[in-house]
Every structure is written in C-alpha cells, then in structure tokens.
Amino acid sequence: MKKKILILSGGISKERLISLDTGFQVAKELKKNGYKVKISEPDNNLEKNITKFKPGIIFNALHGQFGEDGYIQTILEQFKIPYTHSGVIASAIAMDKEISKKIFIKNNIDTPKYIKYSFDQNNLEIIKKIEKKLKFPVVVKPINEGSSVNVYICTKNNIQKTLRLMETYKQVMIEEFIGGREIQVAIMGNKKLGAIELKPKRKFYDYQAKYNTNAKTQHIIPVDISKNYLAKVTGIALKAHKVIGCKGVTRSDFKFFKNKFYLLEINTQPGMTKMSLVPEIAAYRGISFMKLIEWILQDASTKR
C-alpha cells in the first residue's frame, strides 16, 4: 500500500509562488500514480493537518526563508515523520551564503571572494574596500535568499543606489563578479546526476531568467565541455553536498571562467516546476519526473 503524502508548499518567503508551483506539480504526479495526497501551508493549521491526515512522509516543497533554512525542518522533527530533502543543520548552513562559503573555502572549493556589508557601515568606506579587495563590477545579494531574489550586478556608479534598495536586510553579501558560463549540477543522494548549462538572454541567470517563460533562457544538455571537466564540476558538487551534510537531491550553481569552476551556492530544495533544472537533468539521464519524486520519497524514509 502506498504511503499517504503531505506536501508542504506556499509559505511566506519571496519564493512563495515557486513553492506553490512545485507543490502543485508534485501533487499532480503523485495523484496520477495512485497516491493519496494533501497539500498544506506551513501555517497554524499544519499540526492539525498532520494529525488528521496521518501522512507516512512529508514532501517539503517550500523554498526560501522558513522553508529551506532549517526553520520548518526543526518543526517537522517534532512530529517524528520522515520528510524530504536535507535536515535542520545542513539546510541552515546551505541557506546562509556566508557560512556555506566558509565551508567551501575550508574544503578547497573555489568560490568568489566576498565582503559582508552591514547597513550601519559607511557607504564610502565600502566602496574603498571593494576597490581594494574585489574590484568592480560586483554582485550584491542577500545572505539568506534563494532563486536569485534581489541579486544585482553593480558598478561603482550604482552600488549605493542598490544598497539603499536592500536596506530591509540587516546585512548583504558583496561578491566578486565572475564572468563565464553558467553551469548547474544535480546530485542525487551520493551520486552525480548530471549537469546543464544555461544561456540567459538577460544579464545573468536571475529570478526572471529562471521563472519567466518569456525570458527565453537556453538550456543546454549535455554541456559542451570535456569529460574531464564534467567529472571535475560534478565531483565538486558532490563534495559540497557531502561536506555540508545534505540529503536527497541538491543543485549546485557554478560559474566556469578561464578553465576554473567557481561554486556560487548549493540549493538543498531545488524546484520541481516545469522550468526546473533537476527534473530536466534527471530526464536526460532516463529518470522520469515520477521516478525522481519516488526516489526523493524513498530517500526521506531512510534514517537521517
């Protein structure tokens, strides 16, 4: 008998719409294949929904803050019900771009240099610091958002304006801009699932390029690199997956520049929408969307 699946989607992060789409796509596929499914928001009704529905597994389709940063995982631990993707600590580490970068650096994984900026600092001082340590242009991003939400490429002329736009965050990361090719790698458990290259029409692979069908981002699979380079980038992704302690499926975002791979970040809960990359990589490897979902559910059932 197939287990009942409770799907957590929606939430209050800036990635709410993506989460709702992921939850809908997963629910649709599971129902089509005979599973009993319930979708729940992570709100005050969550405990009631879990108690009443009695799921065998919880599929965490949340994205962004409170969904993949260890917060909801801490709550789910109390119910003693298997849930998908990474646990509390790995989720919290991966979501925090500064902590994860420090772990990458400690483990000899190349990643862009960065400065952390607090909004009580002097803007003129930060410009001097950037010119000394990073050089312009730079990438300005929140420390704990996903899906390239509020990520900007800045020059010396517009960095102060961008920082003012981001004052709702207590701190942001100012990162060395790395040019080159956008390559994403999917890891499935302890195996290298594969890689895909993205060629956005926009300046870079931002939120619009990821989720707006009109953005016309080109997806290239297989990636046109040598077998040695493919083995190298997938190996780095697997290493990052392991050193952070991830579980299930992850997707790592790389820049390939001057024959060197730079790991930007690791995503512990990749999207499962029609435009999502992990299902596309899986399909190329002969793994259907349903088989991917069932693998994720099976993986959740194994001991953390």
Catalytic residues: 15, 147, 211, 251, 253, 265, 267, 271
Bridge-based pairing of strands 5-8 and 37-40 is parallel
* Cα–Cα dist 298/54, whole Å: 17
**Residue 51, both tokens:** 């108690």
* Cα–Cα dist 225/232, whole Å: 11
Amino acid identity at 174: I
Those residues whose C-beta lies under 8 Å from the C-beta of residue 75, and which sit 6 or more positions away, are 42, 46
**Residue 109, both tokens:** 């994984």
Beta bridge partners of 252: 185, 266
Q: Which helix (H) or strand (E) holds 262?
A: strand 260-267
**Residue 265, both tokens:** 């970040």
On whether the CB atoms of residues 18 and 63 are closer than 8 A, the answer is yes
